[in-house]
Amino acid sequence: METVRRWVQVLSTLLVNGSWDFPVTRSIYQGPLKVLCAPGLNCYSCPAATTSCPIGALQQLFGGLRFAMESGQFYFGLYVAGFMGVMGGVLGRAVCGWLCPFGLIQDLLHKIPSRKGGIPRGLRYLKYGFLLFFVILFPLLILDQFGAGEPWFCKYICPAGTLTAGLPLLLMQPSLRQAVGLLFLNKFIIMVMFIAWSIYASRPFCRTTCPLGAFYALFTKVRLVKLRLDASRCTNCKACHQVCPMGVKFNESPDDAECITCLACMNQACKFNAISLEIGGMPVGGQAPAPAPNKTALRQ
């Protein structure tokens, strides 16, 4: 199943980055497909990007809200929020595990042999702050002299934008290099930090910083596709703790907001069929449930 997931990640990455004529055009794709949002974090200034980044689009709409309203256009971000909400309602953070290009990059980086470690649990709450302040409030409330807000998360934080858009554009367009300053240096350092951190720990950006992941995490309990724990079969052997790339202790919190539904716990860890996949409450997969284990015997 891990191989299937990897192929789905690659396919999804290629689908949202399907414009490969940029070495010739030396610019970004400007076709009509960009009206669509990508389900995961994928900078629309990436030369190969054929879709819009929902987080980037949302900040741009919020930043230009006053201008738009003055000209009678009510761009509140409902189209983008609606898309994100539908994705959240159907898949939730399974998007992070299966469809996000930057999730794939982090997964691959973590495969580089090195000393491995975890991430303090408290850092997971940071991403909600990034969503609230850098994506919603700052673009809406901090305005320049012309009354326009800035895309704060893209401009000051997003390492995905630096890696997939900033660096390629600097390589393709030498004239841009003169404009590089402290702002880019700040973003470059953040990008290098996340690359190094991804080699050491699994998915640090998803777990601590990604505002899109934070948004999808809000749908954890109400999403259509989710994992389910059968407590009567669980022996608390904690095998699921060892394989989770997000540090979820599934048997202790089956509705954990960090679960990206990668299915590692179900397929690689649990020997007692205590974990199953469900869609809208109904089980999927024809696996016959194993008989419930004799917990007393197992504990001895």
Partner 1 sequence: MARKSLRRKPEFAVRKTPFLVILAFTILGLIGISTGEPQRVLEQAIRVCLSCIGIG
Restricted to residues 89-108, the positions that interact with partner 1 (CB under 8 A) are: 89-90
Taking CB under 8 A as the criterion, which residues in 246-275 touch partner 1? none
3-state SS string for 141-195: HCECCCCCECCHHHHHCCHHHHHHHHHHHHHHCHHHHHHCCHHHHHHHHHHHHHH
Residue 99 to residue 225: CA distance in whole angstroms? 14
Among 35, 69, 141, 298, binds partner 1 (CB under 8 A): 35
Inter-residue contact 74 to 192 (CB < 8 Å):
no
For partner 1, the closer CB: 1 or 86: 86
Residue 180 near residue 64 (C-beta atoms within 8 A): no
CA distance 197 to 203: 8
Indicate whether 283 belongs to the interface with partner 1 (CB under 8 A): yes
Asked if residues 11 and 98 have their Cβ atoms less than 8 Å apart, the reply is no
Pick the binder of partner 1 from 76, 121, 192, 238 (CB under 8 A). Answer: 76
> Helix axis angle, 101-110 relative to 2-16, nearest 10°?
130
Rounded distance between C-alpha atoms, residue 58 and residue 86, angstroms: 15
CB of 300 to partner 1, least distance (A): 28
State in Å, rounded, how far the first CA of the chain is from the last one.
32
Residue of 41, 100, 150, 204 interacting with partner 1 (CB under 8 A): 150
The amino acid that residue 139 corresponds to is P
Site string for partner 1, 162-201 (x = CB under 8 A): x--xx--xx-----x--xxx-xx-xxx-------------
The one segment of 3-11, 56-64, 105-113, 117-125 that binds partner 1 by CB under 8 A: 56-64
Does 82 bind partner 1 (CB under 8 A)? Our answer is yes
**Interface stretch with partner 1, choices 105-113, 122-130, 153-161, 247-255 (CB under 8 A):** 153-161
* Comparison of 103 and 151: residue with beta carbon closer to partner 1: 151
Size of site (CB under 8 A) for partner 1: 65
* Residue 154 binding partner 1, by CB under 8 A: yes
What φ, ψ does residue 189 adopt, rounded to 5°? -65, -45
Residues that bind partner 1 (CB under 8 A): 27-32, 34-35, 37, 43-45, 52, 56-57, 60-61, 64, 68, 73-86, 88-90, 150-151, 154-156, 161-162, 165-166, 169-170, 176, 179-181, 183-184, 186-188, 219, 222-224, 278, 280-283
